[in-house]
A and B are shown apart, each in its own frame.
Chain A
C-alpha cells in the first residue's frame, strides 16, 4: 500500500450501485455528475485487490465519505432463481446508521436513495417513505437529472455547477476519454481510469 492521502471527507461521495455491464452507463452517469459538481466519487472498487474483506473496505469508504448515493433500482428478483441483490440495501443501511449516529457531530453523513420510477419501492423498501428517494427510469438523462438535483443542495457543492443538460451533452466525451484509456491499457479498465477520464471531461458551467 502506497501512503496516498485520502480525498477530503467533505468532497467524498460514496457510490453504491451495481457494477455489471448492463448498469455500466448509469454508473458512469453517476460518476460524471458527481465529478461535475466538484466532488470525488468513491467506491469499494478503488481498493479492489486489497487483502481486507470487501465488507470492511466498503464500511471504511462510507465512513470516510460525507455523502453517499445508493441505487436500489436493481434490488428486485433476477434470473432463473429470481434472486434479489441485497448488497445495495445493506450498504444503504450502513450509510443510514452513519447519518443517525453522526447527527450533530462535525462529521455528519447525508445519503440519497435512488429507486425505480413509480411507487413500487414503497412495497419492497417501505422504510424509505419519508426520505424522499429520487426516481429514475434507468436512462442516463434521468440519472444525471436526479443526482445533479440532489448534489446541488449539498453544503460542499461547487457553485456554479454545469447544468444537468450540459452534463448530459458532454457525457459522450467522458465515455470516449474512458475508451481511450482502456485501449491504452489493453482493454483493462480500473476505477482510477474512470476518475481520470471524468477529471479530463467535466464541462464548464
Chain B
C-alpha cells in the first residue's frame, strides 16, 4: 500500500508528522517532501501519482490552492482516469471541514483529527475500501444538480437554434 500525500507549502510541518505516522504504521508514502534537490518536480510528481494506491489530502489551517498545488492535483486526477483510487481528505482541526476544500473532494468523507496516529486505523480502512470514501449524503443533491445543469445546456442550445432560425427567416 502506497499513498501520495498532497499538502500546501505552509502545512509542510504537519505533512511531515502525517508522513511519519503513516510510516510508523507500515504504510508507504510519498510527498513533495521527498523530492530530491535537482530532480524534475513535474516528472517525479507524475510518476509518483501514477504509482500511488491512494491520495491523502492534508488540509491544515493554512491550506490554499497555489499553482504548484493545483498542478499536483491535476497530476493525480489525470493518473486516475477511472476515478477509482481513494481520495481522502485529512483535516487537521477540531471542527468542521474548511470552506475552501478542493472541489473534487466535496463528495468525500473527511477524517478530522489533531492526532494522526489515532486516525491511522480509519485511514487504512478507507484506503482498502475506496467506495467508503464517498459521502453518500451528497448523492441525492448532486443528482438533482446534474439534471438541472443538463437542462440548462439543452435550453441554451435550443435558444441558439431558435435565434439562428429567426436570423435565416429575416428578409434580406
By a beta-carbon cutoff of 8 Å, the part of chain A in contact with chain B is 1-2, 4-5, 7-8, 11, 35, 38, 40, 46, 49, 130-132, 134, 145-146, 148-150, 152-160, 162-166, 168, 190-193, 195-196, 198-200, 202, 204-205
Contacts and interface: CB of A to CB of B under 8 A. Distances in A.
Contacts of B80: 163
Given A132-B71, A163-B82, A164-B81, 11 more contacts: A2-B162, A4-B162, A40-B152, A145-B78, A158-B142, A159-B104, A163-B81, A192-B160, A193-B161, A196-B158, A205-B83
A173 to B, nearest CB: 15
B95 to A, nearest CB: 22
Interface stretch (B9-17, B114-122, B143-151): B143-151
Given A165-B82, A195-B153, A190 B161 contact: yes
B104 A196 contact: no
B152 A160 contact: no
Interface residues of B, number: 40
Main secondary structure of the interface of B (DSSP, over half): helix
Nearest to B65: A153
B23 interface: no
A115 to B, nearest CB: 13
Contact of A49 (B103, B156, B164): B164
Contacts, number: 119
Interface string B130-172: 0000100010001001100110111011111111101100000
Given A11-B149, A40-B152, A134-B74, A1 B163 contact: yes
Given A150-B74, A153-B77, A158-B149, A7 B156 contact: yes
B8 to A, nearest CB: 14
A162 B150 CA distance: 14
A7 B152 contact: yes
Contacts of B153: 35, 40, 195, 198-199
25 contacts: A2-B159, A2-B166, A7-B152, A8-B152, A35-B153, A46-B160, A146-B78, A153-B73, A153-B102, A153-B103, A153-B104, A157-B104, A158-B149, A164-B78, A164-B83, A166-B83, A192-B161, A192-B164, A195-B153, A196-B161, A198-B153, A200-B154, A202-B150, A204-B146, A205-B142
Interface centre among A2, A150, A155 (most CB of B within 10 A): A2
B167 A148 contact: no
Contacts of B83: 160, 162-166, 205
Contact of A132 (B70, B84, B162): B70
B16 to A, nearest CB: 25
Given A2-B166, A38-B146, A153 B156 contact: no
Interface centre among B80, B103, B107, B156 (most CB of A within 10 A): B156
